[in-house]
């Protein structure tokens, strides 16, 4: 016969430490107003008794859950595919939240029904703050949460405007794309095409804008096909570009995964890289080092994006003001494809 052990209470800890129940409560909830020796006496009693705080009761008192949500408006299939962008974001977010003793709540919402569920969950204040990554189109939810006082930070500039403005962490996609095209122009490439990302995402819009701005300055025409940041869409878009302009001699691709697909199409078409067609990607995820040939690409600091999102969110939660936009630099990484 098993006898259930009675769960230690705040009162038991108070008796063991020789202090009041209120003092124990303040120490357990992280108050810094209790003298150091008393704090240590309470912590010693907690350890000896094996006391575990009742998180549900504590959240009612403190109005905190110590949980932060990261919302990815994508399907689980997409998030857990071989696209290394999402794992990098999650890794950076997790590292920074762990350092702050906060819990990550990862939420994927790849359908309208699941997004409605996410809206009910977040507006119900089940978390202390919300981060968004990989947003599509004009999404009203970040602005809605900000208006009701929930700290919000986005990865990438939100499309449209909201009041109050929603802070975001982004990279210089326009400048990174322009540097990639400039590298191709400096190498003497004459007919430079692009495989653009989805135009309902700010990364796709900005990278196409950077490509076009640099080509315009060189008086060359744009040659554009669209993909959706997946490998297969890059392969299909590359076939379209070769059909549209068989004489093209370079292509800037808005993601490394699409570039991987483009390299496969070029190989199947008998085009040598970089001899016949130079290829530059964007992201510098792990696959860029193992393509054939290794991919020249624009590096964005994916893990640091996640870390900075958390830092900004925690500042907001503490009542600090933050800049609306935190833009991180990109870097051109030269390998053998261009």
Q: 281: how many CB neighbours lie within 10 A of its CB?
A: 33
pLDDT greater at residue 83 or residue 86 = 86
Mean pLDDT of 75-98: 86
The answer for 155, left when phi > 0, alpha when psi is -120 to 50, beta otherwise, is beta
Q: Are 93 and 131 in contact (CB under 8 A)?
A: yes
Q: Longest Cα pair distance anywhere in the chain, in angstroms?
A: 86
**For the chain, what percent of residues have pLDDT higher than 90?**
60
pLDDT greater at residue 76 or residue 215 = 215
Predicted local confidence at residue 176, as pLDDT:
98
Q: Quick one: angle between helices 173-186 and 202-217, nearest 10?
A: 40
Q: How far apart are CA 156 and CA 19, in angstroms?
A: 50
Q: How far apart are CA 84 and CA 88, in angstroms?
A: 6
DSSP-derived pairing of the beta strands 278-283 and 250-253 = parallel
pLDDT band at 53 (very low <50, low <70, confident <90, very high): low
Judged against a pLDDT cut of 50, whether residue 27 lies above it is answered with yes
Judged against a pLDDT cut of 90, whether residue 208 lies above it is answered with yes
Q: In the block, which residue shows the tokens 């999102």? A: 309
Predicted local confidence at residue 2, as pLDDT:
43
In sequence order, what E strands does the chain have? 67-72, 103-108, 129-132, 152-155, 168-171, 192-196, 223-226, 250-253, 278-283, 296-299, 325-328, 331-333
Q: In the block, which residue shows the tokens 């640099």? A: 214
The residue among 97, 43, 101 whose CA lies nearest residue 70 is 97
- Six-digit token string for 118: 């996410």
The distance in angstroms from the start CA to the end CA of the chain is: 73
Judged against a pLDDT cut of 80, whether residue 211 lies above it is answered with yes
Q: 123: how many CB neighbours lie within 10 A of its CB?
A: 14
Predicted local confidence at residue 153, as pLDDT:
95
pLDDT band at 113 (very low <50, low <70, confident <90, very high): confident
Predicted local confidence at residue 229, as pLDDT:
94
Please give the full DSSP string across 69-97, using - where no structure is assigned.
Answer: EEEE-S-HHHHTSS-SHHHHHHHHHHHHH
- Six-digit token string for 17: 């430490």
Tell me the pLDDT of the chain averaged across its residues.
89
Kindly list the distances between the CA atom of residue 70 and the CA atoms of 51, 131, 142, 154, in Å, as whole numbers in the listed order: 30, 5, 12, 9
Predicted local confidence at residue 82, as pLDDT:
64
Q: Are 281 and 84 in contact (CB under 8 A)?
A: no
Q: 59: how many CB neighbours lie within 10 A of its CB?
A: 16
Q: Read off the pTM.
A: 0.80
Query: What would the pLDDT profile of 123-163 be if each residue is shown by its tens digit?
Result: 888 899 999 998 888 888 898 888 888 899 999 999 887 77
Predicted local confidence at residue 55, as pLDDT:
52
Predicted local confidence at residue 83, as pLDDT:
67
Predicted local confidence at residue 81, as pLDDT:
74
- Cα-only R_g, the chain: 25
Q: How far apart are CA 319 and CA 69, in angstroms?
A: 19
Q: Quick one: angle between helices 302-317 and 85-99, nearest 10?
A: 40
Mean pLDDT of 302-324: 93
Query: What would the pLDDT profile of 261-289 be if each residue is shown by its tens digit?
Result: 999 999 999 999 999 999 999 999 999 99
Judged against a pLDDT cut of 70, whether residue 44 lies above it is answered with yes
pLDDT band at 48 (very low <50, low <70, confident <90, very high): confident
pLDDT greater at residue 111 or residue 91 = 91
Predicted local confidence at residue 163, as pLDDT:
73
């Amino acid at each position: 016969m098993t006898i259930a052990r009675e769960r230690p209470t705040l009162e038991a800890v108070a008796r063991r430490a020789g202090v009041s129940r209120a003092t124990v409560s303040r120490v357990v909830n992280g108050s810094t107003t209790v003298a150091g020796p008393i704090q240590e006496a309470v912590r010693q009693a907690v350890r000896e008794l094996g006391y575990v705080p009742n998180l549900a009761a504590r959240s009612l008192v403190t109005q905190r859950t110590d949980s932060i949500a990261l919302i990815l408006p994508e399907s689980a299939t997409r998030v857990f595919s071989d696209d290394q962008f999402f794992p990098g974001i999650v890794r950076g977010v997790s590292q920074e939240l762990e350092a702050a003793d906060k819990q990550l709540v990862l939420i994927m919402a790849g359908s309208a029904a699941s997004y409605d569920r996410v809206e009910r969950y977040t507006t119900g204040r089940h978390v202390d703050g919300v981060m968004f990554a990989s947003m599509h189109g004009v999404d009203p939810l970040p602005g809605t949460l900000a208006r009701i006082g929930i700290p919000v930070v986005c990865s990438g500039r939100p499309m449209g405007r909201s009041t109050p403005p929603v802070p975001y962490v982004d990279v210089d996609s326009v400048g990174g794309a322009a540097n990639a095209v400039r590298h191709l122009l400096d190498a003497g490439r004459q007919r430079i095409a692009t495989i653009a990302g989805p135009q309902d995402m700010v990364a796709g819009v900005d990278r196409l804008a950077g490509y076009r701005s640099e080509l315009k300055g060189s008086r060359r025409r744009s040659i554009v096909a669209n993909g959706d940041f997946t490998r297969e869409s890059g392969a299909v878009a590359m076939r379209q570009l070769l059909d549209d302009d068989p004489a093209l001699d370079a292509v800037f691709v808005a993601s490394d995964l699409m570039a991987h697909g483009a390299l496969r199409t070029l190989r199947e078409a008998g085009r040598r890289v970089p001899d016949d067609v130079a290829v530059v990607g964007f992201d510098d995820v792990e696959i860029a080092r193992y393509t054939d040939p290794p991919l020249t690409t624009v590096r964005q600091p994916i893990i640091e994006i996640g870390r900075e999102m958390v830092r900004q969110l925690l500042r907001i939660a503490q009542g600090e003001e933050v800049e609306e936009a935190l833009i991180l630099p990109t870097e051109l990484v030269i390998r053998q494809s261009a």
